[in-house]
A = this chain, B = another copy of it.
Amino acid sequence: MNEVIQLIRQHRSIRKFTNTPLTGEQIEAIVEAAQMAPSSAHMQPFSIIGVTDRELRKKIALHSENPWIDECGYFFIFCADFHRMMLAAGPDYQDKMSRNLNYSYFYQTSVLSAALALQNANLAAQSMGLGAVIIGGINSALPELDEWLDLPDFVIPLVGLAVGVPDEFPEQKPRLPRSAVFFENQYDRDLKVQVDKYDREIEEYYGVRTNNKQKVSWSGKFISKLDRDLPLGGYTQYVKSKGFDLK
């Protein structure tokens, strides 16, 4: 097994860091790795904001209810970004371009490109012995991030990446059985038995880790998250307010 596959296989999200800031070389290597990801038509429709200001990090951590944003060695925010392209196009082309960028397809393209860059960054960090966790919780501070980071139209903060020297070595969570995720030529709709078996496996996993206090299954976990009225109606409104009409 080569070192790349080995690193990918030993992936764990790290949520406890020593009090060590990243070096300039480490930050540079992570950003360069992100930039080397492929993107549709070489558009590179993403940006990365490194948050070094202590007060700002504390504010974002507080608004996102996420302590790792403040406690990690370095905090990156990955954004979907078509602002740079609008700027490069210049006034003659901006009207028609912005009409096309209104399609949900381009929003999806920028999310996908940003995520490819993010995973390069994530793996580059891990390859240097650092730990990292991707943080979706910044979505509870979107208008605030716009203001604090001065984000223009067509720039949407998607997720954070908290990186640092790991101060824990958590167990790996079992994945879904391959046969429930990977299909040849045709989707297999008959997944209930496999998924139920996986539910028991995850229940067992959490049971062992928490001394049976939090014996929750895979589906139990997301049902508890999704079986209530989530206040997410504002998300699309926010995305639209930034110029992506999702039409």
Q: How many residues of A contact B (CB 8 A)?
A: 112
The answer to whether A186 has its CB under 8 Å from any CB of chain B is yes
Of the candidates B2, B150, B187, the one whose C-beta lies within 8 Å of that of A128 is: B2
Q: Which residues of B contact A101 (CB under 8 A)?
A: 226
A residues lining the B interface (CB < 8 Å): 2-5, 7-9, 11, 13, 29, 31-33, 35-38, 40-44, 46-53, 56, 83-85, 87-90, 93, 96-97, 99-101, 103-106, 108-109, 111-116, 118-120, 122-124, 126-128, 133-134, 136, 139, 149-152, 155, 158-159, 173, 175-176, 178, 180-187, 189, 191-192, 195-196, 199, 218-219, 221-223, 225-230, 232-233, 235-236, 239, 246-247
Query: Could you say which of B139, B191, B233 contacts A87, with CB atoms under 8 Å apart?
Result: B191
A-B contact pairs, 10 of them (CB 8 A): A3-B3, A8-B36, A36-B175, A40-B136, A41-B225, A47-B182, A49-B182, A88-B192, A89-B227, A246-B246
- Closest CB of chain B to A129's CB: distance in Å? 9
Interface contact B227-A93, CB-CB below 8 Å = yes
Give every chain B residue within 8 A of A35 (Cβ-Cβ): 175-176, 178, 181
**For residue A246, which residues in chain B have a CB less than 8 angstroms away from its CB?**
104, 236, 246
Among B5, B46, B134, B187, contact of A127 (Cβ-Cβ < 8 Å): B5
| A4 and B236 form a contact (CB under 8 A) | no
Specify how many copies of this chain sit in the oligomer: 2
Chain B residues whose C-beta falls within 8 Å of the C-beta of A44 in the assembled complex? 175-176, 181
